[in-house]
Amino acid sequence: MNKNVCKQFDCSSLLEEISDAVENREAVSSLLHLEGEVSSKMATELHEAIFMAKQQRHKNLFLNYRNLNNFPVELLKDEGLQFLERLYMKRNSLTTLPDNLAQKLPNLIELYLHSNNIVIIPEAIGNLARLQSLDLSNNALQLLCPEIGRLRSLRHLRLSNNQLKCLPPEIGDLQELETLDVSMNQLMSLPDRLHRCHSLQNLTADHNLLSHIPRQLCWLHRLNQLSMAANRLTFLPLDLGRSRELQFVFVDNNVDLKGLPSYLYNKVIGCSGCGVSSHVLEGEWGEVLGEALSEALVGLPAEVKVVGSETDNVVPLEELSMRTLHRLYHHRPTDLNLLPPITLPKSLLDLLQFPLGHCHRCSQSMFTIIYPKLFPLRETALAGVHRRTTVSFVAYCCSSHCLRTFNLQG
């Protein structure tokens, strides 16, 4: 009797398993069929969108959210879309771009490739002579080809949230560039030639590994907003904020940064989370200057050979010589490279072209010496605005006289 019951139980269990398996197979089959229908429908819609764009000579083509793994071949057939000016391909799964993109879409002005899986862009990207806006944000870029510098019409370049560790120097060849966003990458430095982007107005480099800002950026006289939040900055260029055009500077959450150039006092600044760590300038200067000023000068440029004080009434001969040479060369209408050779180290010759900074009191160029004066932010009128910071404003002067007479509030 028990054996018969067991046999019946085993049979019924087996039948249930078979039934479940059949149902699961049918469900999987239904899902695969549905997925196939969706893919087929999307392919049809893609074909129709491109066909209509060709037939009606559309200037704008929207191919966002199309689940594309490859660049549509329909866009590259025959003569391509010679009239297309704006191509939107955001949130697909593209991994690269075709080499003949510029040949088939020669009149592209704007190309939006936000949120794909692009690892590399071809050298031929430089052939898009009319391109003004390129968005490669939220991809997997590890390298940016030098040919990007050939996009001489480019005004907006967005590269945020990639895996870039460096930028090619050729970015400095983008004379028309107005917006550059390289935030959320792995950059440890910015190209020195970036100062050649004379049209640059907005530079964003938040959430990288930057330890310094090239002082040459202070020569970007159209720069209106600079954002370097959440990096590893310890020191800011002496002239940062000297340009009247620069109105917004954000350096929040740079924990080792304790000194802000006094030029920034009348700007809109973000500095919360700065100065959290405790580092003191090493060596003899740290002992002479005192802890507060020493902390504000951590990361001081290597070109600084002397840190002066109110009691130092004699400017070193090397500094006086550099100031004299700078005045001589600065007022001559020619390039430094065309002038007779000077028996100075290359580092000093570079300083002649890009001084360490300018006196915050009288605008005298400075090269190897600074006279710093500290103004803790908590003791200024901005104390109520910036509560989560321990930074100080630092006035960098050219002599003990300017140091004594400098007034932060004018």
Q: What is the pLDDT of residues 83-97, one digit of tens each?
A: 999 999 999 999 999
- Where does the pLDDT of residue 381 fall: very low under 50, low under 70, confident under 90, or very high at 90 and above? confident
**Amino acid letter, 88:** Y
Burial status of residue 168 (CB atoms within 10 A of its CB: 0-12, 13-18, 19 or more): middle
Q: Distance of CA 369 to CAs 243, 300, 316, 409, Å? A: 22, 11, 8, 24
**Cβ contacts of 230 within 8 Å, gap of 6 or more:** 206, 207, 208, 252, 253, 254
- Long-range contacts (CB closer than 8 Å, 24 or more residues apart) made by 345-351: 347/303, 348/322, 351/303, 351/322
Q: What single letter denotes the amino acid at residue 20? A: D
**pLDDT confidence bin for 14, thresholds 50/70/90:** low
Mean pLDDT within 342-364: 84
Which one, of 253, 251, 304, lies nearest residue 261 by Cα?
251
- Whether 367 and 319 have beta carbons less than 8 Å apart is answered as yes
What are 24's two structure tokens? 């699961």
pLDDT value for 35: 47
Q: Which residue has the higher pLDDT, 14 or 42?
A: 42
Structure confidence at residue 37 (pLDDT): 46
Percent of the chain scored above 70 by pLDDT? Answer: 82
Position of tokens 């800002």? 213
State the pLDDT at residue 130.
97
pLDDT at 387: 67
φ/ψ of 394, rounded to 5, equals -125, 125
pLDDT at residue 385 in the model: 75
In sequence order, what are the residues at sequence separation of 6 or more whose Cβ sits closer than 8 angstroms to the Cβ of residue 65?
90, 91, 92
Does the pLDDT at position 148 exceed 50?
yes
Give yes or no for a contact between 108 and 76, defined as CB atoms under 8 angstroms apart: no
Give this prediction's pTM: 0.85
- The pLDDT of 347-362, averaged and rounded, is 87
Q: Give percent of the chain with pLDDT exceeding 90.
A: 61
